[in-house]
Amino acid sequence: MPETYAPLNPPRRLLMGPGPSPVEPRVYQAMTKPIVGHLDPYFFEVTGDVRSLLQEVFGTANEFTLAISGTGTSGMETAVSNFVESGSKVCVFANGYFCDRISEMVRRQGAEVARLEKPWGETFVDEEARKFILDEKPQVVAFVHAETSTGAVQEGKAICEAAHEVGALVIADTVTSLGNIPVNVDAAGIDIAYSCSQKGLACPPGLAPVTVSPRAVEWLRRRGTMNRSFYLDLKLLDEYLLSAHKYHHTAPISMFYALREALVIVHEEGLENRFRRIERNHKAFAAGIEAMGLRMHVEEGRRLYPLNTPCVPEGVDDAKVRARMLNEDGIEILGGFGPLAGKVWRIGIMGAGSTKENVLLLLESFQRALEAEGYRPAGNGRQAAEAFYAQA
């Protein structure tokens, strides 16, 4: 007798971890629209809209702006495989997990990695960044603008200026910053930036926005060696998505619909309004954390507003707190990993999920779970956040 399966019925979760983040209802609706072929003129209308909307959110006039069919890691690998050649030198600013992932990808391309290391959660000041690059004289420099493993934000203007002084290209990971905080690709001088669809853009995972400066495009055209990746070769993707519309792969049509709708929502809200909303909700959350007697891992002034890392107090099992919140309230947060495993929680207040209502629900659930695990808060986190909102 044939086996039968129940209809899909996933649990309702409030996704307040480092991603994916809550998806806008309009984005889900866009995904139900009839698909067209991957070479249909209508599909290229959609990708054209995606390009212009991504230019706005990246803060760039780069014509070479597109979405890669793949998750954020495919964006990282696109940047590395296209602009790092075997035998070249790449400087990596290493202060978290995703800097380590870039380093590993660079090594797999046969390039030399020079790393400037800092403890996870710290950032680099302009003078040390400049000295590192001028001393090493690399062909490529890579840094993570918004480090998802630590909750720290790294400014890139000084890095880009020093890199350009020695003739290097700059790769920036904006996976957690795009759509959450200003990226300002052109103003900073970033040559290649990549991101993902499922964090600040409030879209399901599956696409990786990428933008490439004219300077980097010119380098790519002069590149003497062939990219080892066929799927992520930007020369071929240019011919498919941006110029001649020649077949390269079957793009995920419904995901492009979703990303277009998500970007339209960002456009309608306005970037400055969006950034202020996310900053305000971060500060309300931080006020609640401090009221409970907890502390943040990253110092004020370097914190990544959409991704918060409160420290786990002594004697508390971070996994048990997370399990209570998920099982009792349907709220997902995640823990740290690497050197921060068991030491921090990673809590996302990003994209569509960054609302006053969600911050208050989160703090209430968080405090209840902490108390159940034996922690005695100094005060009431939700009430402190409410007081912040009233004052703001």
CATH number assigned to the domain comprising residue 102: 3.40.640.10
Residue 186 in domain: yes
Average pLDDT over residues 108-131: 98
Given this model, what pLDDT does residue 122 score? 97
Residue 117 in domain: yes
Distance between CA atoms of 192 and 260, rounded to whole angstroms?
A: 21
Q: How far is CA 22 from CA 52, 139, 376, in A?
A: 24, 39, 30
Tens-place pLDDT, residues 302-347 = 999 999 999 999 999 999 999 999 999 999 999 999 999 999 999 9
Residue 251 in domain: yes
Given this model, what pLDDT does residue 28 score? 98
Distance between CA atoms of 223 and 238, rounded to whole angstroms?
A: 15
Token pair 């926005």 in the structure block, residue: 209
3 band by pLDDT with thresholds 50, 70 and 90:
confident
Dihedral sign for Cα atoms in the order 47, 52, 58, 60: positive
Residue 10 in domain: no
251 and 305, same domain (yes or no): no
Q: How far is CA 276 from CA 52, 78, 242, 381, in A?
A: 23, 31, 33, 21
Could you tell me which of 222, 217, 200 has the C-alpha nearest to residue 209? Answer: 200
Domain termination site, one of 246, 268, 290: 268
392 band by pLDDT with thresholds 50, 70 and 90:
confident
Q: What is the pTM of this model?
A: 0.97
Q: For 162, phi and psi rounded to 5 degrees? A: -65, -40
305 and 379, same domain (yes or no): yes
Tens-place pLDDT, residues 175-206 = 999 999 999 999 999 999 999 999 999 999 99
Given this model, what pLDDT does residue 261 score? 98
- Report CA dihedral (179, 325, 334, 269) to the nearest 10 degrees: 0
What is the three-class DSSP state of 179?
coil
Distance between CA atoms of 266 and 81, rounded to whole angstroms?
A: 30
Q: Is the confidence at residue 1, as pLDDT, over 90? A: no
Contact status, residue 304 vs residue 277, Cβ threshold 8 Å: no
205 and 233, same domain (yes or no): yes
Average pLDDT over residues 266-289: 98
% of the chain surpassing 70 pLDDT: 99
9 CB-near residues (< 8 Å, 6+ apart): none
Q: How far is CA 109 from CA 89, 130, 141, in A?
A: 11, 25, 15
165 band by pLDDT with thresholds 50, 70 and 90:
very high
Count structural domains, the chain: 2
β-bridge mates for residue 141, sequence order: 91, 170
218 and 280, same domain (yes or no): no
Token pair 């991504």 in the structure block, residue: 54
Domain termination site, one of 268, 292, 320: 268
336 and 283, same domain (yes or no): yes
Residue 8 in domain: no
386 band by pLDDT with thresholds 50, 70 and 90:
very high
Q: Is the confidence at residue 2, as pLDDT, over 80? A: no
Q: Provide the CB-side half-sphere exposure for 255 (13 A, CA).
A: 18
41 and 161, same domain (yes or no): yes
114 and 259, same domain (yes or no): yes
Tens-place pLDDT, residues 51-99 = 999 999 999 999 999 999 999 999 999 999 999 999 999 999 999 999 9
246 band by pLDDT with thresholds 50, 70 and 90:
very high
Domain termination site, one of 268, 292, 327: 268
Residue 323 in domain: yes
246 and 330, same domain (yes or no): no
218 and 313, same domain (yes or no): no
% of the chain surpassing 90 pLDDT: 98
CATH number assigned to the domain comprising residue 332: 3.90.1150.10
121 and 158, same domain (yes or no): yes
211 and 300, same domain (yes or no): no
Could you tell me which of 344, 337, 296 has the C-alpha nearest to residue 316? Answer: 344
Distance between CA atoms of 192 and 215, rounded to whole angstroms?
A: 10
220 and 280, same domain (yes or no): no
Residue 4 in domain: no
Tell me the residue range of the domain where 257 lies: 25-268
357 CB-near residues (< 8 Å, 6+ apart): none
227 band by pLDDT with thresholds 50, 70 and 90:
very high
Residue 218 in domain: yes
Whole-number mean pLDDT of the chain? 97
